[in-house]
Amino acid sequence: MTWLFNFAAGATLIGILTSFTLASRLAYGDSLAPQDLVAIRFATSGLLLLPFAITRRGWALLSAESLMLAAAGGIGFAIPAFAGLAIVPASHAGALLHGSLPVFTVAIGLAMGRSGTNLRRGIGVGLMAITLAVIVWDSVDNWGGRQLAGAGLILLASATWSGFGLLAARLKLDPVVTAATVSAWSAVVYLPFYLLFLESQLPRAGLEVVVTQVAVQGVMVGTVSVFVYSWVVLRLGAVGAAVCTALVPSATALTALPLLSEHPTTTLAFALVLLAAGSLLSLTGANPDSRPVPDPRP
């Protein structure tokens, strides 16, 4: 039965990460705006995770490191990510968001002197970078120049998340405390600004739509994924968890076909294969002691 639990762990992680992109795209078709999804994410996850932070390590909420974590993994990620997802189709957005994480993680890690590389890993990361450029070109070629801005926002979100992952790894904080810290500070900073200055589309959306986004963005992605990722690492190891994230772009594109009627182009389909190959190559070429594997919870 061990294989069944391992499969369930990996499939659950892939499903949660895939749901982030798909649910966001569905929300925009139901009258919600990016600023609404950011508010839903942090209000829900902050409320649910705050007790864990207080009971485990409450003083950490007041540290400078907490503010840095919230800036990188909270508002710094969510605002450009949701804004970019309002522009870029799910099939391309999933590839850009999750597929670029290893590239930015390696690049930032090298710049900080916190990760090493070798020929195999360099080839894998290089292949992924070229493939991501092809995906951006395919998006612009099919949907116009505005896609370039959307892709830039998504890549910015991925870069900030990679920086967050490296910072969290350096601080060696409990994953639950880290997630609670990010959600709590992000809610404190963002929600007053949202309520006072931003136009909310929540009244225009139906109750079912709002509840669905609370369940997906706030509960599943913002809260449950913390525990699921820890479960996956326990069952499959850090490399196994990273392999699961490498499959997210393909899973997103396949699921977007029936849910959003998005038909991947031949170029995108080929690029997704190369992206997965580059990701796996970079993983097998990494030194275990130097391989940064950031929490992929978007």
Residue 162, classified by CB atoms within 10 Å of its CB into exposed (0-12), middle (13-18) or buried (19+), is: buried
The pLDDT of residue 105 is: 86
If 0-12 CB within 10 Å is exposed, 13-18 middle and 19+ buried, where does residue 277 land?
middle
Whole-prediction pTM: 0.91
- The pLDDT tens digits for 61-77 are 667 888 888 899 999 99
Each residue's pLDDT tens digit, 191-239: 999 999 999 999 999 899 999 999 999 999 999 887 888 788 777 776 6
Dump pLDDT digits (tens) for 6-58.
788 889 989 999 999 999 999 998 899 999 999 999 999 999 988 877 776 65
Count of CB atoms within 10 A of residue 193's CB?
A: 12
Query: What's the pLDDT score for residue 176?
Result: 79
Q: Where would I find the H helices in the chain?
A: 2-29, 34-57, 64-70, 76-85, 90-99, 101-112, 119-143, 146-171, 175-197, 207-213, 225-246, 248-260, 266-284
Structure-block tokens of residue 11: 């499939």
Give the mean pLDDT of 265-292: 79
Condensed to tens digits (0 to 9), the pLDDT of residues 107-158 reads 888 887 766 678 888 899 999 999 999 999 999 999 999 999 999 999 999 9
Q: For 207-269, give the DSSP string.
A: HHHHHHHIIIIIIIIIIIHHHHHHHHHHHHHHHHHHHHHHTHHHHHHHHHHHHH-----HHHH
Q: Which residues contact residue 198 at a Cβ distance below 8 angstroms, ignoring those fewer than 6 apart?
A: 35
Burial label, 231 (beta-carbon count in 10 A; 0-12, 13-18, 19+): middle
What proportion of the chain, given as a percentage, has pLDDT over 70? 90
d(Cα 139, Cα 116) in Å, to the nearest integer? Answer: 33
Q: Residue 74 in contact with residue 45, Cβ under 8 Å?
A: no
Higher-confidence position of 120 and 270: 270
Going by pLDDT thresholds of 50, 70 and 90, the confidence category of residue 175 is confident
Would you state the pLDDT for residue 290? 45
Say yes or no to pLDDT of 297 above 60.
no
CA-atom Rg of the chain in angstroms: 18
Per-residue pLDDT tens digits for 2-13? 778 778 888 998
Measured CA to CA, the distance from residue 19 to residue 255 in angstroms comes to 9
Angle subtended by helix axes 2-29 and 34-57, to nearest 10: 140
Q: What is the average per-residue pLDDT within 281-287?
A: 69
Q: What angle do CA 267, 269, 271 make, to 5 degrees?
A: 65
Q: Answer yes or no: is pLDDT of 292 > 50.
A: no
Amino acid at 189: V
Q: Which amino acid type is present at position 126?
A: G
Q: What is the mean pLDDT of the chain?
A: 87
